[in-house]
């Protein structure tokens, strides 16, 4: 299956975990469009996914 999926919602509802689960099952990649998560060094302030979540599928713009 080819396509683009969008997972949207408020902060801290599990979007990153859901994206990792779906990407893992579909052998897909994650493109992060969060305006703050793309900044390096602000991991705590921006709520970036934990390293183990990021390891489940390739991430871009994170």
Domains held by the chain: number: 1
- Asked whether residue 6 is domain-assigned, the answer is no
Query: HEC string of the chain?
Result: CCCCCCCCCCCCCCHHHHHHHHHHHHCCCEECCCCCCCCCCCHHHHCCCCHHHHCCCCEECC
Distance CA 36, CA 26 (A): 26
pTM: 0.62
- Asked whether residue 9 is domain-assigned, the answer is no
pLDDT in tens, 10-61: 878 888 889 999 999 999 988 887 765 555 565 554 566 667 777 778 777 6
- Asked whether residue 54 is domain-assigned, the answer is yes
């Amino acid at each position: 299956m080819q396509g683009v999926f969008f997972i949207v919602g408020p902060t801290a509802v599990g979007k990153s975990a859901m994206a990792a689960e779906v990407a893992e099952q579909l052998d897909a990649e994650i493109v992060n469009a969060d305006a703050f998560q793309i900044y390096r060094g602000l991991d705590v302030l921006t709520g970036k996914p934990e390293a183990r979540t990021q390891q489940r599928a390739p991430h871009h713009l994170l």
